[in-house]
Amino acid sequence: MRIADYIAGYIYRLGVSEIFMVAGGMMFLSDGVTKHPSLKAICNHHEQASAMAAVSYAKYNENFGVTYVTTGCGGIDNFPAGFK
């Protein structure tokens, strides 16, 4: 089993069914999401859009919201959605 498959399975066991993502340096992890039979990858054009979608998903479903984004600037772009 690859680490990408393990992480995708773990996220699914937490009750998450959608993951919001932007292609980037974590593509090897995205492969685990796309191959998981019960997870849906929702691709956005910007990290902030993914983060805001994940926050909305979490509030609506009363569960975790998950984003897969690249490191560096992509990771930093996730922060604003988490603050009120």
Instruction: Give the pairing of strands 40-43 and 66-68.
Output: unpaired
Q: pTM for this one?
A: 0.84
What's the structural domain count of the chain?
Answer: 1
Domain with 55 in it: 3-82
CATH, residue 73? 3.40.50.970
Structure tokens at 5: 């498959």
Q: For position 7, what pLDDT does the model report?
A: 94
Could you tell me which residues come within 8 angstroms of residue 60 by beta carbon, excluding any fewer than 6 positions away?
none
pLDDT digits (tens, 9 = 90+) for 12-69: 999 999 999 988 777 888 889 999 999 999 999 988 899 999 999 999 989 889 998 8
How far apart are the C-alpha atoms of 34 and 55, rounded to whole Å? 21
Q: For position 19, what pLDDT does the model report?
A: 94
Confidence of residue 80 (pLDDT cuts 50, 70, 90): confident
CA 55, 51, 27, 18: dihedral to nearest 10 degrees?
30
Half-sphere exposure of 75 (CA within 13 A, CB side): 5
Q: For position 4, what pLDDT does the model report?
A: 93
